[in-house]
Chains A and B, each alone.
Chain A
Amino acid sequence: MSRRLTAIVLAFLTLAVLAPPALAQKPVKIGVLTPLSPPGDPAAGQLIVRGAKMAADEINAKGILGGRKIELVIEDDSGTPEKGAAGFRKLATQDGVVAVLGQFHSSVALAVQDLAEQFKVPIFATQASARAFTEKHLNYSFRTHVIDTDRVQLWNRWIKEKGFKKVALLAENTDYGVGLVEDTKKLFPSTAGGAELKTIVFDRAVVDLTPQLLEIKSWKPDVVINIGVGTPAYLIIKQAADVGLLPGTPMLVSYDMPARAEFWKNLGEKGNYVSFLVYYHPTMKLTPRGEAFRAKYREQFKEDPVYASLNGYAQVVLIADALEAVKSDTSEALVKSLLANKFQGWNATISFSRGEGPYWQQWTPPMLMMQYTKTDMPFTEAKIIYPAEFKTGELVVPR
């Protein structure tokens, strides 16, 4: 009897020691599908991954769903729809992730969101702003980033307030670039104060934009909007300075690329007086979670965080919170939880509703327009030039 009892106790002990931990420690996998190599914008992808990893480390210190860990599965989409689609398929079918975040290029996001619907795995746009992404009203597509339309409305209001009469727009031929051109054309007559608009769309692979910039220069615009992403955005600034368009004509970069450290390394004095849109500013008041992240980021990387890292971090935390709220690790439960609950983001409370038009499963961060007025100026010292309620300086145009 005692021998049988001992055997049973030993068997239970063996099961208790080996099997349950193996089940309990099965990680919750989250995919990060983002550009980590050209022709995409790899700097953006690296910053998103940086934020996502910090979130995973923070969550894993406590664990979720009763002590389980988060495991990030990182895939490079190279900013191309075909690589994005292949990466998403792998994440959904092979890795079994509960959700995928990190989408930066609109062309990729629009391509993979149909796969998200097919595999019933939620996809999060981290910095892809094409209106169509949320306008399609798909069940598994979420975004915590601005929409092109909002971006266009902001610069149209600015154009009207500044009294600009001639606006040139130089855009790459991607979903992002073409989408912004279409939105600007649509909203320009009603919101830009009667200014004249000239649009030029170029092939993203082209490296010599001199003829287009000469054409713009001869048109004598009051402002040029630079809608390139990554390398094309740099080439526009460099070559605009070479043909003498900059710095005498103000240039607005359509996203927060100039906030990154490599901006000055690549452009030197040619980057001076460039204006740009941002979604985060170091003087912003953040949520307790955002403040903690900012402090930790500064300590770890000896620099201020940029928006891509903040949003990468916030999306991983958002997914973990949503799973915790429903005590489940399934994608279906995650979608239900995201729609039913409110979550603490990096600068405000995030919630999703199924609104009209592009405001479907969409949460929008604030947007500011900033300008550098000195070569090598740190991002933290750049002036906010728009909107009026946040303004810390006026647009400076050297004559």
Chain B
Amino acid sequence: MDLHLLSQYLLSGLVIGVIYSLMALGITFIYSIMKMINWSMGEFYMIGSYVQYFLLASVLGWDRWYVALPLAMASVFLLGVVVQRFLLRPMYVGGVERRDEYATVMTIALMVLFRNLAIVLGGPNQYSPRDYAKPTMLLTLPLSGNRFVALVGALVLLALFYLLVTRTWVGRALRGAAQNRIGIQTAGIDVLRLDMLAFGVGVAMAAAAGALLAPDFLVYPENGAISTFKGFEIIVIGGLGSILGSVVGGVLLGVIEALGSVFISPAYKDLYGFLLLIALLVLRPNGLFGERERTV
């Protein structure tokens, strides 16, 4: 195996891993605050890609992808807020006894609804926005301009997210909610409002991934399925609720898949991540950076 090629495989895995981690971060963020798994995360990714395509094809023109991206994120953020307000909030205020089941049923129903709505509104075919940028080189790796933009975009969003969570008042409140939902209510913080914000931000992260990857991975009703799948793998590898775990888990999964598919077989690409996941569940059940939950 020549080193040049090996470095290309590693870089390719690294790039896709960073992009995967955006999706995982959204899932883990929502879980941390709301203590629920959003099974329709891939559909918010899909909606992000459709909004981006629609804005570029019909409103802004193909070159203004950087304007469309925040608009796509904002639209999905608003959709997330509406979904949380009317469909998920009853979990906490409506006296629902089995919250986990409620959240599972509701988000799976949303997944089916959004996927079918996409078929009804956009048809079942694939679409693709024009390239965001010209092909480039990342060290030894020839990279599409789109993938480079997605990589930079993902890194910027991850950094912004980190700043939001660690350096702002809202971020402190969100971290408080992640630690103890009842505790922060005693400090006078409206936790239901925080839920709304967390759900909106989480799904907007997924939408960003969908919008950034639209020219490379296409726009079609089921394009979010693979991202959800990877997102859940990453949060188990990295540790549910851990932001750092999402990033490290994403990169690890991307690299392992790239190397496994070249050195073993690409027909079992998904298997390599699962083997890592099973190994971690046996050796470190809380994931790489997950912490055992402590309750009083």
A interface residue numbers (CB < 8 A to B): 36-39, 42-43, 45-46, 173, 200-203, 205-212, 214-215, 218, 230-231, 234-235, 238-239, 241-244, 262, 265-268
Contact = CB atoms under 8 A, between A and B. Distances in A.
A214 B147 CA distance: 15
25 contacts: A36-B124, A38-B221, A42-B124, A46-B124, A200-B266, A202-B261, A202-B266, A203-B269, A203-B270, A206-B261, A206-B266, A206-B269, A207-B223, A208-B12, A209-B266, A211-B259, A212-B266, A214-B9, A230-B126, A234-B126, A234-B128, A235-B218, A238-B128, A268-B128, A268-B131
Nearest to B57: A265
Contacts of A45: 124
A244 B125 CA distance: 27
A267 B144 CA distance: 13
B104 interface: no
Contacts of A234: 126, 128, 218
Which 8 pairs, one residue from A and one from B, show the smallest C-beta to C-beta distance? A42-B124, A242-B144, A202-B266, A38-B222, A266-B128, A210-B12, A211-B258, A37-B124
A351 to B, nearest CB: 35
A211 B261 contact: yes
Interface string B202-225: 000000000000001110111101
B266 A201 contact: yes
A241 B144 CA distance: 8
Given A214-B8, A244-B142, A173 B267 contact: yes
A398 B258 CA distance: 30
Given A203-B269, A212-B266, 16 more contacts: A201-B267, A203-B266, A206-B226, A207-B226, A208-B16, A210-B12, A211-B9, A214-B8, A214-B12, A215-B5, A231-B220, A234-B126, A235-B217, A243-B142, A244-B142, A268-B131
Contacts of B217: 207-208, 235
Given A206-B269, A207-B217, A242-B143, A212 B262 contact: yes
A37 B119 contact: yes
Nearest to A215: B262
A242 B269 contact: no
Given A212-B261, A235-B217, A242-B135, A205 B270 contact: yes
A239 B126 contact: no
Interface in B225-242: 225-226
B130 A206 contact: no
A267 B259 CA distance: 28
Nearest to B219: A266
Contact of A38 (B130, B220, B269): B220
A202 B163 CA distance: 39
Most buried by A among B125, B226, B259: B125
Nearest to A242: B144
B265 interface: yes
Contacts of A206: 226, 261, 266, 269-270
Interface centre among A37, A212, A218 (most CB of B within 10 A): A37
A203 B273 CA distance: 14
B265 A218 contact: no
Contacts of A241: 144
Contact of B2 (A38, A218, A242): A218
Contact of B216 (A200, A205, A238): A238
A36 to B, nearest CB: 6
B267 A203 contact: yes
Contacts of A265: 127-128
B142 A42 contact: no
Contact of B127 (A200, A203, A238, A266): A266
A271 to B, nearest CB: 11
A211 B130 CA distance: 23
Contacts of B16: 208, 210
Nearest to B143: A242
B57 to A, nearest CB: 9
Nearest to A233: B126
A202 B130 CA distance: 26
A38 B124 contact: yes
Nearest to A173: B267
A172 to B, nearest CB: 9
A211 B266 contact: yes
